[in-house]
Structures are given as C-alpha cells and as structure tokens.
Amino acid sequence: MPAPNKGELEKLLIKAYTEADYSGAPVAEFKVDFNPQEYGQVYDVEYQRQQGEGTTGSPLVFRKVKPQEYRFKLMFDGTGTSGKKVEVYDRIQEFFRVTGYDGEIHRPRYLKLLWGKLESKSVLLKADITYKLFYSDGRPLRAVMDATFSENVDDSTRAAEANDQSPDLMRRLTVKAGDSLPLLCYRAYGDPNYYLEVARVNQLEDFRRLQVGQQLIFPPLEKGANA
C-alpha cells in the first residue's frame, strides 16, 4: 500500500452527477485553486409553536430537520499566485458549467462536496460573486465567491432508504460528515428524541462525538415507547 503524499495539499473537490442516486461516474469535476480558510455548516430544526387553551405558554412542537447548508468563500485569482495564470472569468464560468443547470436533465446537477472528512450530497443553492481587481481592459483579475450548497434531501437514494427501512425493524446506519445522533434518529424513526436510547444501545460515552464511518445500531421501536 503506497504511503500518502504528505507534500500534496488536498483541495476542495466538487463532483457533478446527472443521476439522482449519484450512480455512475461523475460527468464533470471542479477543483478549487485555493482552499477556503473556513466554511460554515448550518443545522436547522423547524418547530411550531402551539398554545393550549387558557394558557400563556407556547411549547415548541418538533416538525422537521431542514436540509443542512454548507457555505464556502472561494477565491479566484489571475495573478499567478496559485502557480499558474488563469482567466478569472473563465474559471468562474467553468464552476457554473460543473455545478449549474444541465439541459439534458432539465435541472441543476447533483453534486458531491469532497474535502477532508466532509462528504456531502448537495446542490448549489446560490453564488454571490465580488470582483476586486481588473486589467486595464476591464477583465477581472481577482474575485471572491460566496457559494451556498444545500444538502440534497430529495435524491432517490434517501427516498429508497425511507421506503425500505421501518421504525419497527432493526437498522444500521453509517455516520457521515455533518451527522449528529438526533439527526440520525430522525432519519431512522422520524423523531430525533430517541437519541439517548440509541446512545445507550450503542454504548456511546459521548453522543456528541460521532466518528465519520462509524456504524450505529437503531433498534426497533417498542409500541408506545418514548425515549
């Protein structure tokens, strides 16, 4: 087994697919010239306030876990700092050719974001571009893009999992980047509140520290049980 190349910097890679289940080889790829110095991950839970008759309180009732979002600040530089001179406008158009609308499938492409332990099936939600430097003829020399990707919850793979796996059956799920135990419980049972019971079954010392690739058991729900 060859030793890893420690001198080569791993860069954020975006792979594009035309199939909703991400089957087959990617139809295109985009590798950034400069890794972002940071990225944001948004975990959003939706609740609904319900106020009982004759009461002043408004308890929060869980509705759903929204698709996670990933926000990157990407730099495009035509000065040659990355080791080669590029046309900034052309690189940005290449980004959109890979991540954007595909006429054959009549929608934007399905994307995989790959960087370190991050691996997310997503779609491009929006991209805000700011041009900063220019050649004398007006061509952009440097630009910064704020790109937002949304977790692709409508892909056929997740739909198939939802149909095949029942809360009444034993299930085994593999932890992916960005997963939390409440989120996995929501996927398994449709309710995130079983996380303490699942942590006990899997003998987790700290349910907040899940490892990517770790397999967890989700036991069948007992009728009327509430974790």
Task: List pLDDT tens digits, range 10-25.
Answer: 999 999 999 988 989 9
Would you identify the CATH topology of the domain 165-218? Membrane-bound Lytic Murein Transglycosylase D; Chain A (3.10.350)
Q: Does residue 152 surpass a pLDDT of 50?
A: yes
Residues in Cβ contact with 27 at an 8 Å cutoff, skipping those fewer than 6 apart: 16, 17, 18, 102, 109
- Which tokens belong to 162? 């939802």
Locus of tokens 């991400």: 22
Residue range 87-107: mean pLDDT, rounded: 96
| Residue 164: per-residue pLDDT | 45
For residue 131, pLDDT over 50 is answered with yes
pTM of the model: 0.62
Q: What is the mean pLDDT of residues 150-166?
A: 53
Encode pLDDT of 60-90 as tens digits.
766 667 788 999 999 999 988 777 889 999 9
Residue 199 to residue 139: CA distance in whole angstroms: 56
Where are the chain's structural domains? 13-151, 165-218
Residue scoring higher pLDDT (65 or 201) = 201
Please determine, for residue 53, whether its predicted confidence score (pLDDT) is greater than 70. no
Name the amino acid, one letter, at 196. Answer: L
- Give the span between the Cα atoms of 31 and 14, in whole angstroms: 6
Q: What are phi and psi of 157, to 5 degrees?
A: -65, -50
Residue 222 — pLDDT band, cuts 50, 70, 90? Answer: low
**Residue 226 pLDDT exceeds 50:** no
Q: What fold, for 13-151?
A: Elongation Factor Tu (Ef-tu); domain 3 (2.40.30)
Distance CA 7, CA 211 (A): 26
| 168: pLDDT strictly greater than 60 | no
Band (189; pLDDT cuts 50, 70, 90): confident
In terms of DSSP H, where are the helices of the chain?
88-99, 156-164, 181-189, 195-201
* Mean of pLDDT over the chain: 83
